[in-house]
Structure 1
Amino acid sequence: MTDLLTSARSGPAPLIKGAPAEDTARRAGPAVVRGTRRRLGPGRAVPFGRLIGPVLLVALWWAASASGHLDPRILSGPGSVLSTAADLVATGRLQDNVLISLQRAGLGLLFGVTAGVVLAVTAGLSRSGEYLLDGPLQIKRAIPSLAMLPLLILWLGIGEQMKVTVIALGVAVNMYINTYASLTSIDSRYVELAEGLDLGRAQFLRKVVVPGSLPGFFVGLRLGVTSSWLGLIVVEQINSTSGIGYMMFQAQQYAQSDVIIVGLVAYGIFGFASDAGVRAIERKVLSWRRTLAG
């Protein structure tokens, strides 16, 4: 790695006095002969390129349905799903369920992110905090939040408090693991430099800890957003009377695959949009980094 960096900085080998130009170019390598540099990165980003995959998936679904290869009793076609979605919007049923689901996911995400960051900072910046918190949280990571549903139902019942708690637990673990790993991976030389400059605690947190932990924080946030939607899908099918999951569960009883797909599409749109939003904030906040993602 060092040799590569050294050779890259030094540039092409100089011409040897008295040697033929062709021989010198041959020994200098193909880069000198062609005058170009090989690209090793993923290439230039395309605006809205992440929409290509979903659009192709919908196109394949539409083609399979139109050609008759897709049995509508098993999976409704896009036209039927759009018609059903329009009916649900016209009656207000879809909007009501969507708002309730967004409220549950939003509260779970808020509480989970707050708890995860506080625990990560406590364990990452204090030995006593690490000894007290890291072990139990690593054990919790090995236990899926959904596996705790029976116990949480026993403690909290089957109301909104239990649903939000299940979502928050999944989010908090993701936030803690990634933020804590980012904090403990900060180069100790920066800490020594801060001590040498006699920085105060607040300055140390602002100039060293926050920039060093932000990459891990955003990774945890993206995983936490995904986890909030996964948890929401499950809890809304447990004795719920509202929400997208409840609407899908009711549709299952009457074999309404089009209504089920409308719910799945709604989950997918919200998940994709929320992840894209986190990505946009991450690019803006971490604009000082140069990465392969562009």
Structure 2
Amino acid sequence: MSAGISLDQSYPNLFTPEDQVFVRALEDDPVSIPPRHALTLRGEPLSHAAYLTSGFAGRFRADWTGRRQLLSLHIPGDFIDLPSFMLFRLDHDIDSFNAITCARLHHDRIAQMRVTMPHLYDCFWRISLMDSAIQRYWAFRVGRLVGRARIANFFAEIFARMFARKLCGTDGFTLPLTQADIGEACGMTPVHANRMLGELREEGTCTLENGRLVIHDLRLLASVGQFEWDYLYLPPQAEAELADLLGAGATRQRRRAPAPAPRT
């Protein structure tokens, strides 16, 4: 990989340092992309998958009037377009939020792994499944949570993902998003997002300022956001550390909804 977070750091339960060296040898030279720049356009033919070694990127889709919805946020250590390996194109745009660096792995080299290194091929398949789990949770967040809970949940997720990769401490993390970006991520207008951010700040939960989320009370952030992290499929050590930081964990002690009555 290029300078930045490596595969074995991003997914220590999937890749070994030796795997990292092998994959790195298959990659093209790293590519640097400026802030607020399109990486991939919807429908554009693709011949490679991009691994984000530094910076933040997002997947977007817009309605006919140009209003965008952020479909996912990618942090350092994510593959940002792995589904293109099987689909050959994407059904959404991908833009950078800040300056990013990514390493590109051609699809034919991934295909070769199916024969030469099947365990690595299976790891890439698993990453794709983990990304799908995150996107399912995003549908839940926007469809079920409301108000500041929706934004708090979004912030808690990014914290958990960053913390698991040792990219931040418990007091906050880099987040190069504007209030309008937060609105697009959470299905809100910029005005509504601004009001909810104000409530989170005033109650002492967190503050978004100058491209950074400052966390004042981590457990309160998770509580306000009704945050559960089972869908992230984190390594066991990261799971244990989060449970310690956020409490015994709603994920481990949550109340399950009653099963539906059988049909008659």
The structure whose RCO (Cα within 8 Å, separation 6+) is larger is: 1
Greater helix proportion: 1
Same structural fold, with TM-score higher than 0.5 when normalized by the shorter chain: no
More strand by share: 2
Larger Cα-atom Rg:
1
Q: TM-score, normalised by structure 1?
A: 0.26
**TM-score between the two structures when normalised by the length of structure 2:** 0.28
